[in-house]
Amino acid sequence: MQGGDVRAARDEGEAASMAVRVALRGVSRRYPGLTALDEVDLEVAAGEVVMLTGPSGAGKSTVLHVTGGMDQPDEGHVEIDGAELVRRDLDRHRRRTGFVFQRFHLLPALTALDNVLAPVLPRKVDFDRRARGMELLEAVGLDQRADALPSQLSGGQQQRVAVARALINRPGLLLADEPTGNLDSVIGREVIDLLMSLRERYGMTMLIATHDAEVAANGDRVVRLQDGRIVSDQRITPSCDVLQRLGGLRP
């Protein structure tokens, strides 16, 4: 792919991205024998990066699932740009939301490029799929590995492909569930740096669930959950010792 094609795809995509405002209003989610979320209220400004911390089972993943429309609250509701997220809008909302998981969930028989394109292959789109896919692989530093299978990529490279896949629809909201959980500290640091740079490049609101205080230090805010409730909400400022403030957030 020529450099001009990459730039054209980038210009098209960047114009289409728009960070969204997110709010959870009194959200509760219950399963048999378990209250995953208990009257959670959370507001996230457009373009903000909020890190969700807390022990396993605290409700971090459920916040992401409810926010992304993958699950629905038993009580309360989710708002996107001030409008309540209702059932008829779920498919559209999911398409406008990017998801990154701890497990990469790449299709082993598909190349890196085809994995990036997988979410848009079954439907009609108004953009050049391959041009956008290559532009995203270039953005995550893997344009030279477009034809590689997942088995030919390292763990860090596979997560980069997963990040590129999450951006194929130009989401205004990116939800990441322990994106560094299967990576060593060095590669994990690279993935978080990549996410922060993509936030600036494409303009996205981000919610990231993590157990790692050093990962959480990259957010604008750190929200700690425990037993399905928010127990603290800290804003990270340049003047504070971030890691010292987050030391108590380790599970």
> Per residue in 233-243, pLDDT tens?
999 876 555 55
Higher pLDDT, 234 or 1: 234
pLDDT in the model for residue 15: 40
Res. 123 pLDDT band, cuts 50 70 90: confident
Q: How does strand 34-44 pair with strand 49-53?
A: unpaired
Domains of the chain and CATH, by start: 3-249 (3.40.50.300)
pTM above 0.85, yes or no: yes
pLDDT in the model for residue 130: 93
What would the mean pLDDT of 60-69 be, rounded to a whole number?
A: 97
- Residue 126 DSSP label: S
d(CA 58, CA 71): 16
Both tokens assigned to 211: 């157990």
Please name which of 232, 242, 167 lies closest in space to residue 212, comparing C-alpha atoms: 242
Both tokens assigned to 133: 């896919």
What would the mean pLDDT of 38-60 be, rounded to a whole number?
A: 97
